[in-house]
Structure 1
């Protein structure tokens, strides 16, 4: 072992030790590595800083921007809505659907990109269902890594091993050669995470965080609104058809307060906020607040030509990106106490509906339009988020006490969602077809998002998580340093020399283990480049088929579950999940051993030795 290799291994051990301790921050450790590595004399400064121009680093930065574009246009939250709708209140069903969706999408595009896109989705879903993000973030990362085991094009190591087989004069792998084994590992991963999720949340994690903000569901429950929500469709023969709301007096005469209108237009459904001038059309679905759930309104519905429609979830939750709630108090200098809600003219003046009134901590029921306000009352108003924000500026008469957590999910560029989907489709198409490198495909998508005004430059720069990029850049030079000092070659020689007489399955297990361990310190693509020739040569020396040996190396290169720096996918979820270095070790190492066991058992069955 030469002195240069000792220096590199010592520096690597020091960096890993600091990662484990957790002080200083990981990105600071990466910067220390960038300063210290040229001092060893193994790499010069230019080689050490080459990671800043690495295509994968640029790709990750671009994917952060694309993910933010999907958030700003509301697509990410709609995907979260779909997950919530399908999962209901079941965290188990949510975890299964999440891992299946991530693995499926990651099988045809960059797993790093998929995870970057899903992070805001998972955070939003976790907030809505009041689940600790840590219980979902690591399953998200593991599903992204497993996606690399599903198809030939899912990850670069698969293509590297395939190319090495072709260079050796062999047929290589088909597009779906990985799929049977990958599906088995995906099923194992889902089962494992269903058991391990209870250990993902550390005691004290997030204790210093601010108390959770009220949600739409909390406000609806506080004012007993969820008992009064109804969806009513205007029949073609309804006397309300083609009438203006101000002229109908539905609230005063029938106890029906129209909040918003769902109107089918071409291929989509528009949500219209109800105002006094809103004209109802046949087929409209009215989102209404009835005066009291105890009032029998079936006769009124029939007389008005309204058909009750199913309502599986609160319509405020279903339309949370457009339709909001806010609690409003009356400040001491307000001139409103003594006036009725009807006299306030909320709908005409502020484009908002008063849907609840609390007095001395109790929600009042019945028709509220003639109720005189008292100084201690609080009102619940409903309407478009932009109108609620406008109400915050009227501090003389109104004090908006708090906005629900869903206000963070309001999509400022919601109308640009089709263009964001087009940009994403262009990127995926280019990545799958291979017409341009992945980084170019991602940059093209970023430019399209900007051209379509789905995202602006300021938002794009804010979307990039710079500590993650610095961490990746700081660890990349170790790959070249270990190669130049002979560290990787030394490990490979030990494998071939020590296991030449062992059985084929034991050699497969050793290949898997060595590949996974090397992948802790260098990129999985570089690991595949180094280990694929060794796997093929070992098979030929044993007189066996190279396919199972090459497949084992490819699977092991994707099994980067053991540390947060073994893959950019893990690094992405480190912050949002509030994990420490040791969390990945205690969850990832046992799972890697299980994946190794499954691989050693299944690979020879599908690719005979």
Structure 2
């Protein structure tokens, strides 16, 4: 049996475990990396090479910087202020929660943002006689689409960038996802206000219900809130400037160190704020990606996929197909896992077509964040399931239209950029076929 076939079999097993979650995602990913070494698909010294990837450091640093805003109470204060400004009417409250959820999750953990805003929303709903089930799901959706806006907003974005660099290609810049993230966020807000709200249930909940938060504020020191806000703003500014003498990883770690040194959170809180599942899932899939490339498994998949699409598909067709696959998978498995699984395949297919993989990888990453039609694809949707009194079909009814809207929005963007000769694909001869 050839190494490529062995790698494909291993990839199928990993995909099965990702979808079913029979064993934890992080164990599946790390186990896949170890299996690559044991099967001789990669050298033994490369099995844990993913842990030394700079993107892992970026993940860890931004987890700490973001957690500082929650531990100081700044994120909660921002949420309460925005809700106070917009009022407590159903529509205005929904708009306020979605706006703050979108803004905070663009640079912070979307899970932490949702966990922080949820008790605020429940308290206001109880006081203003609004039904919580009409507010929590729109807020969770906003935390999902808000994460698309920046490189660090959601794990699929960073995973896509890491997959590019692992393949020897330039990764994404800090605000490169904003070209699709901001329009999708605006479209999502309009959809929920004009259409989605009519598909939400009206479940009455106990106002005294206890809500468990992943990150709970431990202090409300105004000075520390200002410091944590300044640190985050400084990190985002430096990352956006893309300065040559300081990398994204260095910026994130410096920000994390300053957060601890200034007392915005303790060393123990900093360690506990890091999502180790995301870290190990990413680190485990990087060697698997390398094995796919070195054994030729990625090329086999690419040839097969290209053949199914007619042998010589346009880059736009490839992007549509991979976006649809990623969008489907992420409804039933972790968005992080679906991005980690599909990004290397997308890169291989793009190379097979002699096109720049960036647009394909971006489509996969964005689609992986469109897990709106089920409660299991992304943590914010899962968090509000119980407190909102939602059923599985509530997500299907309200979220399916949102998923289709995101898919349509991404395709329109691709066509517009192509028309202005700004599409990411490098092969000029393919431009007319995309149009």
TM normalised by structure 1 equals 0.50
Instruction: Choose which of 114, 117, 121 in structure 2 pairs with 1:126.
Output: 121
What is the match of residue 147 of structure 2?
144
What is the match of residue 420 of structure 1?
228
1:451 aligns with 2:269: no
Q: Deviations over 1:504-557 (max 9, x none)?
A: 6xx51333322564793537875675455556x46xxxxxxx9xx975664444
What is the match of residue 14 of structure 1?
16
The 2-side partners of 1:197 and 1:488 are apart by: 43
What is the match of residue 188 of structure 1?
187
Give runs of aligned pairs for residues 173-572 of structure 1, distance below 5 A: 183-193=182-192, 212-213=209-210, 409=217, 411-435=219-243, 436-497=246-307, 499=309, 508-514=316-322, 517=325, 520-522=338-340, 529-530=347-348, 533=351, 537=354, 551=359, 554-561=362-369
The 2-side partners of 1:46 and 1:531 are apart by: 28
The 2-side partners of 1:584 and 1:447 are apart by: 42
Q: Deviations over 1:402-441 (max 9, x none)?
A: xxx9xx6562543322222222222112211222222211
> 1:74 touches 1:410 (CA, 8 Å); kept in 2?
yes
The 2-side partners of 1:412 and 1:467 are apart by: 29
> 1:423 touches 1:449 (CA, 8 Å); kept in 2?
yes
The 2-side partners of 1:3 and 1:193 are apart by: 46
Give runs of aligned pairs for residues 85-124 of structure 1, distance below 5 A: 85-90=84-89, 92-101=91-100, 103=102, 111=106, 113=108, 115=110, 118-124=113-119
In the comparison of the two structures, how many residue pairs are matched?
A: 380
Deviation at 1:200, TM superposition (A): 8.9
> 1:515 touches 1:553 (CA, 8 Å); kept in 2?
no
Q: Which has the higher strand share?
A: 1
The 1-side partners of 2:292 and 2:371 are apart by: 19
The 1-side partners of 2:347 and 2:338 are apart by: 15
Q: Deviations over 1:24-80 (max 9, x none)?
A: 444454565455554443245543333333333332232232223112322111111
> 1:115 touches 1:144 (CA, 8 Å); kept in 2?
yes
The 2-side partners of 1:472 and 1:158 are apart by: 11
Structure 1 residue matching 2:340: 3-state secondary structure: coil
Q: Deviations over 1:61-114 (max 9, x none)?
A: 3223222311232211111112321343245444444544555677xxxx4635
Structure with higher Rg: it is 1
Deviation at 1:444, TM superposition (A): 0.6
> 1:59 touches 1:442 (CA, 8 Å); kept in 2?
yes
Q: Deviations over 1:131-187 (max 9, x none)?
A: 365553343122212556x9xxx97968999xx9x99xxxxx999998776554333
> 1:562 touches 1:585 (CA, 8 Å); kept in 2?
no
Deviation at 1:15, TM superposition (A): 1.0
Instruction: Choose which of 3, 16, 22 in structure 1 pairs with 2:5.
Output: 3
Structure 2 residue matching 1:522: 3-state secondary structure: helix
The 2-side partners of 1:466 and 1:440 are apart by: 19
The 1-side partners of 2:25 and 2:198 are apart by: 26
> 1:561 touches 1:591 (CA, 8 Å); kept in 2?
no
The 2-side partners of 1:551 and 1:87 are apart by: 37
> 1:66 touches 1:445 (CA, 8 Å); kept in 2?
yes
What is the match of residue 81 of structure 1?
80
> 2:50 touches 2:286 (CA, 8 Å); kept in 1?
yes
> 1:160 touches 1:528 (CA, 8 Å); kept in 2?
no
Structure 2 residue matching 1:89: 3-state secondary structure: coil
> 2:370 touches 2:403 (CA, 8 Å); kept in 1?
yes
Structure 1 residue matching 2:41: 3-state secondary structure: coil
1:58 aligns with 2:57: yes
Q: Deviations over 1:199-219 (max 9, x none)?
A: 899x9xx99xx96259xxxxx
The higher relative CO (CA closer than 8 Å, separation ≥ 6) is in 2
The 1-side partners of 2:338 and 2:229 are apart by: 35
Which consecutive residues of structure 1, in runs of 5 or more, have no partner in the other structure?
168-172, 215-404, 539-545, 565-569
Q: CA RMSD in A?
A: 5.1
Q: Which has the higher helix share?
A: 2
What is the match of residue 67 of structure 1?
66
Deviation at 1:445, TM superposition (A): 0.8
Deviation at 1:482, TM superposition (A): 2.8
1:46–1:576 Cα change, 3 Å: farther
